[in-house]
Amino acid sequence: MTQRMNPADLSAGRSAAPEFLFSRMESLLRGRAVRHLTVDGVPAVFVRDPVLARTVLVGESRNYGKGELFRKARTLSRVGMLSEDEAVHRHYRRLASPYLRSTKVEDYVPLMRRIVRGTVTAWKAGEAVDVQEQMCRITCAIAVETLITGLPRATTVELGERLSRLAWEMIRKPLYGKAAARTAGTAAAGRLAAARSEFRDLLAQCVDGLLASPGKSAGYLSTLLTDADEQGNPLLTPEEVCEEAVMVLTAATVTTASVMSWALHTLDRHPAVEEPLLKDLARRRAEDGGHDHGPPGYTLRFLMEVLRLYPPVWISCRKTLTDVVLGEHPLPAGTNLVFSSYLLHRDPGHYPDPHRFHPDRWLTVRPSTIDASYIPFGIGSKGCIGEMFAWEQLEVILDELTREWKLTTVPGLRVRTAPETTLHPRRLLMIAHPR
């Protein structure tokens, strides 16, 4: 029998627990590698087994396309990296790659540090900080200043501010169920549309300026504009260039802002973590970053554990392109498959005491290469192209912020998890105390 599953009913706000738990999902899926369920009113197969999830995402990915579930929540372009055509997708990944590869990301670190310091030094001791709003400001300024270069300073700053407003509205957009349906025509939908229009309009002005000044370069934006076929014809219209840039810039910010918010909240909730984390950050700063050899250092273990418990892309969908057999389960073409990194990351078979925040588990546990038990950035050909950018950005923000401030959650505030476009704290106000 197909059972109905509505993740919107799983908020811990209905219980005494302070965190969002997929308790009903876990109950429905316990002991089953896959199960037929109705998700958001659509028949689907939920994949709980990490080996089968990896089969879908990597081993036999050619047999699975993008699923239709949750698409109604997306407002992004599908002309470039989000194209259904695999060749087009790969092409636009290659265009973005030079700006996101590890050696290039290392060059961004001084700029990242300057941006973080410029934001956090403006905070006032004893005042409450809206952490998520501030993380959006920081991550958006970093994304704009590293990926779009050569613009007038005032334009760059304004682009960052407008992107920040867009990112914050996107983070809070419901992804599924009645909550998503109810957003149409609401004030929240209006704010999102206005933020997107404001950012896109300024981006379009930048594109027009580049078209009017051949030879002028603006980093990634120029790369999209000059992308052409063998006859020299542009592959994207100016409008499509804007859409692709909006997609890349929002993807580079909404997830990192959500993860960083959880990192700061977790640091406050687990005071024993603070001393080893600050010592390791100071060590890495003195050594000018670089890669640890051997077991991951404490900073990396801390961030890995935050991402394990709070993966920003918490649920995903694929659709079978042909009849397939997944494990022992025959699935006809057109079947929607759903998997949740939140559940995969909290599988007790891979992570003993899975709901406990325990960075030192990563001294003995390693992310598996044979299954999808740890996929905070996705996996395979559709995995996040900006993973190295995100790791560096998370460490820099954490380092610069904790050098200046110790943040504590506003007394009496109950921080709940919101499973929306990203998995983020529903409301996170923290008081800044000078170090």
Q: Output the DSSP codes for 117-145.
A: HHHHTTS-TT-EEEHHHHHHHHHHHHHHH
The pLDDT value recorded for residue 71 is 52
Instruction: List helix spans (H) across 172-237.
Output: 177-182, 187-212, 220-226
pLDDT at 327 over 70: yes
Confidence of residue 294 (pLDDT cuts 50, 70, 90): low
What's the whole-number average pLDDT of the chain? Answer: 88
Tally of structural domains, the chain: 1
CATH number at residue 327: 1.10.630.10
DSSP 417: E
Reference 195, options 104, 90, 75; nearest CA is 75
Predicted confidence (pLDDT) per residue in 189-226, tens digit: 899 999 999 999 999 999 999 999 988 899 999 999 99
Reference 76, options 310, 424, 421; nearest CA is 421
The answer to whether 433 touches 407, Cβ cutoff 8 Å, is yes
Compare 186 and 200 and report the one with higher pLDDT.
200
Question: Structural domain of residue 55, as residue ranges?
Answer: 3-434
For residues 88 and 99, give the distance between their C-alpha atoms in angstroms, rounded to a whole number.
18
pLDDT at 382 over 80: yes
Predicted confidence (pLDDT) per residue in 48-105, tens digit: 999 999 999 999 999 998 876 655 444 555 677 877 788 888 999 999 999 999 899 9
- Residue 216 gets the label, from left (phi > 0), alpha (psi -120 to 50) or beta, of beta
Confidence of residue 6 (pLDDT cuts 50, 70, 90): very low
Predicted confidence (pLDDT) per residue in 105-148, tens digit: 999 999 999 999 999 999 999 999 999 999 999 999 999 999 99
The pLDDT value recorded for residue 51 is 95
362: which residues sit within 8 A by CB, 6+ positions away? 295, 296, 300, 301, 304, 305
